[in-house]
């Protein structure tokens, strides 16, 4: 099949794209290679994909309507996987305009191109951040998500609403995936697993927010890839779907630190900090809907996934210091 992937140089995008290429699909990847974090890491991810002959990659921004339309018309995708976005809850507090362009205008451009080219299915990244300060755990897709605590979360909720309107008005099948704290090799250097591991490696203190009273549903990249793959190809899905993709495990932040310490064989110097604006105290995914409709069943316990990530980081000193 012809599959167009946005955000192909990203953490999740590069992993799922490699799987699709290995399966023999024709993949057209798009990325703007922005400098939110090191473009060097993004280029390194792309180098791993360029060994496959059935893939094409272009560098432009999805906000560029003309370039995006031209790419759709040339490639004529059967399926679209939209992972490009301006990420980061805390970054959105200082740089709100960037999120309006990438996450709202960019997503509208994707929807319009999918409609015009009569794409069979659009799978797109939402986020666990849409649950905001909801006190009811675990988070279910049936719960209200009308009170985001960051602009980033608000844009992701807006994406779900925009997708619903295109499904209703134009019959475009849209599948939204609420990812829960994804980690693993080739991950994002702005996220806790990488930040903590690197700080311990460099004998620097790690900053632990809300004095450690936080929890996350950490989900290993291989499990996320399996969920995305099912969302792309599984039959019998409704025209409009939203799925939680998480590990269904509520892990205390201090437990994460302990797993990293064990994997690295050294102790962390901990600097306890107050809660940050826009942060969620905890996340925990109810995955019954994804189990039932996607056959989604995460396989990777946190300690196992952390050991894999740490092994990768230690084997790649060129990425230390990002």
The closest of 200, 206, 219 to 263, measured between CA atoms, is 200
Q: Hey, which residues does 127 pair with through a beta bridge?
A: 179
**b/e per residue, 72-99, with b = 16+ CB within 10 A?**
beebebbbbbbbbbbbbbebbeeeeebb
Rounded Cα distance, 33 and 82, in Å: 15
3-class secondary structure, 231: helix
Residue 31 is given by DSSP the state E
> Is 158 within 8 Å of 164 (Cβ atoms)?
no
Question: How far is 257 from 251, CA to CA, in rounded Å?
Answer: 10
DSSP 8-state symbol, 285: B
Q: Which are the catalytic amino acids?
A: 152
């Amino acid at each position: 099949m012809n599959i167009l992937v946005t955000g192909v140089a990203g953490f999740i995008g590069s992993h799922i794209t490699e799987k699709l290429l290995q399966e023999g699909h024709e993949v057209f990847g798009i990325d703007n290679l922005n400098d939110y974090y090191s473009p060097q890491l993004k280029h390194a991810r792309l180098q791993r994909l360029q060994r496959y002959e059935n893939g094409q990659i272009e560098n432009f921004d999805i906000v560029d309507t003309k370039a995006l339309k031209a790419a759709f018309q040339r490639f004529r995708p059967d399926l679209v996987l939209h992972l490009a976005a301006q990420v980061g809850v805390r970054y959105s507090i200082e740089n709100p305009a960037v999120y309006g362009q990438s996450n709202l205008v960019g997503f509208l451009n994707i929807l319009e191109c999918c409609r015009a080219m009569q794409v069979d299915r659009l799978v797109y990244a939402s986020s666990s951040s849409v649950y905001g300060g909801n006190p009811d755990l675990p988070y279910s897709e049936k719960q209200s998500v009308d009170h985001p605590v960051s602009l980033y979360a608000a844009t992701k909720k807006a994406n779900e609403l925009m997708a619903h309107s295109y499904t209703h008005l134009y019959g475009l099948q849209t599948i939204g995936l609420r990812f829960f704290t994804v980690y693993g090799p080739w991950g994002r250097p702005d996220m806790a697993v990488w930040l903590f591991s690197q700080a311990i490696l460099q004998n620097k203190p790690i900053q632990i927010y809300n004095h450690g009273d936080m929890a996350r549903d950490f989900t290993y990249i291989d499990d996320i890839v399996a969920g995305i793959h099912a969302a792309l190809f599984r039959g019998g899905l409704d025209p409009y779907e939203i799925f939680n993709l998480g590990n269904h495990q509520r892990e205390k932040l201090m437990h994460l630190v302990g797993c990293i310490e064990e994997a690295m064989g050294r102790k962390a110097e901990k600097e306890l900090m107050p809660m940050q604006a826009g942060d969620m105290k905890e996340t925990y995914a109810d995955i019954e809907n994804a189990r039932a409709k996607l056959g989604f069943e995460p396989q990777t316990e946190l300690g196992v996934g952390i050991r894999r990530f740490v092994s990768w980081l230690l084997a790649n000193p060129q990425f230390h210091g990002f």
